[in-house]
C-alpha cells in the first residue's frame, strides 16, 4: 500500500460520522456539495405541534432518500437524536405558521400524508418529483388548518387491526413510494 493510499485509509477508518463509506474522510462541505448534485426535487415538511420524537426519524429517512430540504412548521425545537446528525447534510427551513410555509413552497403542490376520511391510497396517485410531502405528529396527525391548505391528501393502505402506522414508519413508506421511479 502506498503512503497516500494509507493516509486515506487511516482517515476513513477514524471517521466515526454516520455517513456511507464513499463519504468517509471527506469534509462536511464536500459531502453536502455531492449530495446537492445528486439530490431529488421532492421536499418534505413536518408540522411540529408537539416536539414529536419521530421527527428525527423522518429527517433521517429524507436524507437517505436524497431529499435536500425539510420544512419544519410550528415549533422550532425538535428532538434531533433520531436524525443521527443527518440533518447537518440537508437544509432545514423553519416556518412559524402554515401561511408562511405555504408562501415559501409555492408553486409546489402540498401533499398531506394522513389517514383521514377522503385520503387516497398513495399507490394510486400521480407523484410529481417537485411536490412537498407533509407529515404530522404521532397521534393527532396533521392539523385541520394544514389539511385545508393541502392540494391532495394521501395515506398508506393498511390491512391489519391497528388504526394507524407510526408516523416515522409511514413517512419512510411514502417517501420510498413517491421516489420509486426517480432515476
Which residues have C-beta within 8 Å of that of residue 134, sequence separation ≥ 6?
44, 45, 46, 47, 73, 110, 111, 112, 113, 142, 146, 150
Percent with pLDDT over 70 in the chain? 86
Instruction: Evaluate whether 104 touches 80 at the Cβ level (below 8 Å).
Output: no
Give the pLDDT band (50/70/90) at residue 52.
low
Q: Are 106 and 167 in contact (CB under 8 A)?
A: no
pTM reported for the whole predicted model: 0.86
**pLDDT surpasses 90 at 176:** yes
3-class state of residue 62 by DSSP: helix
Mean pLDDT confidence for 149-174: 91
Domain range annotation of the chain: 1-28, 39-178
Rounded distance, CA 133 to CA 145, Å?
A: 15
- Asked if residue 169 has pLDDT above 60, the reply is yes
CATH architecture of 39-178: 3-Layer(aba) Sandwich (3.40)
Amino acid at each position: 500500500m502506498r503512503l497516500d493510499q494509507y493516509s486515506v485509509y487511516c482517515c476513513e477508518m477514524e471517521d466515526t460520522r454516520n455517513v456511507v463509506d464513499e463519504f468517509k474522510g471527506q469534509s462536511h462541505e464536500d459531502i453536502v456539495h455531492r449530495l446537492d448534485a445528486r439530490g431529488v426535487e421532492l421536499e418534505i415538511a413536518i408540522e411540529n405541534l408537539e416536539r414529536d420524537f419521530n421527527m428525527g426519524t423522518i429527517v433521517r429517512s429524507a436524507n437517505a432518500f436524497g431529499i435536500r430540504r425539510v420544512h419544519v412548521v410550528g415549533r422550532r425545537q425538535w428532538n434531533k437524536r433520531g436524525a443521527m446528525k443527518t440533518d447537518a447534510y440537508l437544509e432545514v427551513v423553519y416556518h412559524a405558521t402554515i401561511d408562511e410555509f405555504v408562501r415559501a413552497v409555492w408553486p409546489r403542490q402540498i401533499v398531506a400524508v394522513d389517514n383521514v376520511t377522503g385520503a387516497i391510497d398513495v399507490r394510486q396517485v400521480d407523484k410529481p418529483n417537485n411536490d412537498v410531502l407533509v407529515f404530522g405528529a404521532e397521534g393527532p396527525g396533521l392539523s385541520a388548518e394544514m389539511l385545508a391548505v393541502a392540494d391532495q391528501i394521501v395515506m398508506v393502505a393498511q390491512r391489519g387491526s391497528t388504526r394507524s402506522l407510526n408516523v416515522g414508519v409511514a413517512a419512510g413508506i411514502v417517501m420510498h413510494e413517491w421516489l420509486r421511479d426517480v432515476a
